[in-house]
Structures are given as C-alpha cells and as structure tokens.
Structure 1
Amino acid sequence: MKYDECLQVLSPARLNKYAQASGNEKAKTLRLYQYNIKLSQRFYGVIGMFEIMLRNAINAHYKQYFNDDNWIINQARPNGLLEQEASEIVRIQRTYTNMGVYNNDKMVASFTFGFWTYLFTRRNYRIGGKTLLQIFPNKAHGLKQTDIYKQLTAIREFRNRIAHHGSV
C-alpha cells in the first residue's frame, strides 16, 4: 500500500509519530509502523499468557484463603471483596447459569485484566486479608502491594496500547 493510501485509511494522527521519528521519510515511516505491528504481536502473546497465569494464581489463592470454590460469587456481597463488582458478577453468573454451563472456571475467564489488577488496590488488598502477595513467592524483598499494583497497571496499560494498535 502506498503512503498516501495508508495515511487515508490509518489516519494522519496514527502515522504522525512514525513520520516524526523518520524525519518525514514516507518509506521509513511505513517501515516503522510495520515494525511496531510485528513487535506488538510478539508482546501480545507473552502478556496474554501472563494474564492467564495471574488470574489463575489469584483464583487458586482465594479459593484456598476463603475455603470456597465459589469465592467470586460469594465475595460479591455487601462488605465483600468484590462488592463493587457485584452487578457485573451477578450478570455473568446468570448468563452462564441460563446457558447451563456455569462453573468457577468460566467465571474466572470472564473478567478482564483490569478486574484482576484492581484486586491489588489498597481497599481490595485489605479486604482480601492482605495475603495476595503470596502468589509471588519470588518477589523482590520489600516489594509492597502498591508496588505490585503500579507494575500490574503499567503492564495492563501497555497491553491495552498493543490491543488497540498503539505504539509500543
């Protein structure tokens, strides 16, 4: 595709940062944009696996901590860990129940990276018994809940930029 066609379909705003980086050389601008796409593809798979491992570790931890295989549903109550997400949790549970396929694994897979990240906010960390850092047995000494939350937020924001075809 020629530069002017790319500019029309992708938008000047999207290509502008690549044009600036290439000194407004059209061929180089397109190469940089294509390189960013390839780089994003490589990161997306790794981050996707990290997201799966994170949510599964959190799920296993809270199943044990709350001694409850259905902890997501049962914590979506007043003063519960997931009180603020209760309406969304109930909606998802009803959908799966009506389809006859409800189980905890489907619930776990239904929530976004943001949902799992927000379990590390001060409020949720406190209500969750201040135990969630146990899922990181090899974390650096002195790393606190706020540090983990900031790092997970940075990963989530990076993932979102990639998912929405922003620049890496």
Structure 2
Amino acid sequence: MRYSEFEEIMSVARMSRYTTATASTKKAMTLYRLNLRLSQELFTVICCFEICLRNAINKHNIAKTGNDWLQNGAAQGGCFDNIKCKFTCININDAIYKLNHNYTHSKLVAELGFGFWRFMFAQNQYTATGKTLLKIFPLKPTSTPLTQYNNVHIFNQLSRINDIRNRIAHHEPYMLYCWSARKRHNLCKRTLCYNQTIIPMDEY
C-alpha cells in the first residue's frame, strides 16, 4: 500500500506523529504497524488482568454474601440500592436486562466491564460491600505514613490501567514512548503481584 493511501485511511493528524518521529513515510508505516503489535501485547496483559481481578472480587463476595451478590445488591434494599451507589445499581440491572432469559451469575460477572470492577474500590462501593475487599490483595505493601495502600490506592491504580486500556483501543502511539509502555506493563504486573493467588507472576 502506498503511504498516501495509508494516510488517507488513518488520517493526516494521526500519521503526522509517526512521520515526525521517523522523518520517513515508509518508516512511519512500519512504526505504525509495530505500535499495533505493542498495543496487542499490552492489551492481552490488561485483558488477563481484568479477568483475574473480577474473578477474585467475585470469589470474595460470593464467600461473604452468597452466589447472587450482584443481583441481590442491586435489588430493592440491597447493598447498592442507595443514592451513593446509583450507577453501580444501574449497571448491574442493565446487564441483567441485556442477558434477559440467558441470565446466570457467571454471565453477569463477564458482562460487567473493567470500569465497574474498578469502582468496587471506590469509597461508596467499598463501604457498601463491607470494607473487606482489600483481602483479595494479601501481598500488597504495608501502609506507611507517606503511602496508604488502601482502597483509594487500589482504585487509583486501577484507574490508570483502565486509562491505558482506553488509549490502546484508540491506537495511541505507545511505540513513540517505550518508557511509558514498560511503565504501564509493570503497573499491571505490580498490582497482580499484590495477590499471587490471582495469577502466578512467572506467567509474565
């Protein structure tokens, strides 16, 4: 494919960052393809991270409150049935409605996105589920006067990972910032390392 055709498809604005970095239209196309490969690698790690995270949260809350903790929590009088957890309640009920007659708790867990599971560590949701969810990270560092490794810390870490996920989906040029790609990959590994029971770190 000629560069002009490639640029027409991808847009001048998007490709300008690659041509500026390489000073060559041919190299710009190569760099763009390499960036896609890097993004695929990062996205695979994040997808595995998301599955491991939601499974750990689900397992913990099943043991604590029962198999249908999500559906029960969003029902009238449930732990999420309050103004502070309004959108959590809406997300659960929307997912249940979408599943319709195919509803099972496992399918509901899979239907809810990364942002939903991230918010399980937001203060309102963390409180609603009993302030015990940090137990899924038994290997997290001990808090110090300077750094509190509490639910807010976990929420902020997950927010950064969620941001990476969204940026990859929009083809951000991570290849131009290799330090940033490594930093974000290490962030996923470090957060997973807080709980070796989620996934063995030697897998990565």
Q: Same fold (TM over 0.5)?
A: yes
1:91 matched to which residue of 2?
Answer: 94
Task: Say if 2:33 is the partner of 1:30.
Answer: no
The alignment partner of 1:90 has SS state of: helix
- From 61, 68, 71, the equivalent of 2:69 is 71
The number of aligned residues is: 164
User: What is the identity, as a one-letter code, of the residue corresponding to 1:71?
Assistant: W
**Aligned 8 A contact 2:68 2:105 in 1:** yes
Shift of 1:97: 4.0
Shift of 1:70: 0.3
**Aligned 8 A contact 1:93 1:107 in 2:** yes
Shift of 1:103: 1.2
Matches within 5 A, 1:128-139: 128-139=129-140
Task: Say if 2:49 is the partner of 1:50.
Answer: yes
User: What is the identity, as a one-letter code, of the residue corresponding to 1:86?
Assistant: C
| CA RMSD between the two structures | 1.7
- From 161, 165, 172, the equivalent of 1:159 is 165
Instruction: State the Cα deviation string for residues 114-167 of structure 1 (Å, max 9, x = none).
Output: 110111112111222221111111112221211111111111111111123222
Deviates more, 1:29-38 or 1:77-86: 77-86
User: What is the identity, as a one-letter code, of the residue corresponding to 2:125?
Assistant: N
Shift of 1:92: 2.6
State the distance in 2 between where 1:88 and 1:125 align: 16
User: What is the identity, as a one-letter code, of the residue corresponding to 1:84?
Assistant: F
1:16 matched to which residue of 2?
Answer: 16
Runs of 4 or more consecutive aligned structure 1 residues displaced over 6 Å after TM superposition: none
**Aligned 8 A contact 2:119 2:155 in 1:** yes
Task: Say if 2:147 is the partner of 1:141.
Answer: no
Instruction: State the Cα deviation string for residues 18-56 of structure 1 (Å, max 9, x = none).
Output: 22222x321221121111101011111111111100000
Deviates more, 1:73-82 or 1:44-53: 73-82
State the distance in 1 between where 2:117 and 2:94 align: 18
State the distance in 1 between where 2:69 and 2:78 align: 14
Unpaired runs of 5+ residues, structure 1, are: none
Percent identity between the two aligned chains: 37
The alignment partner of 1:75 has SS state of: helix
**Aligned 8 A contact 2:72 2:78 in 1:** no
Unpaired runs of 5+ residues, structure 2, are: 144-148, 175-204
State the distance in 2 between where 1:130 and 1:2 align: 57
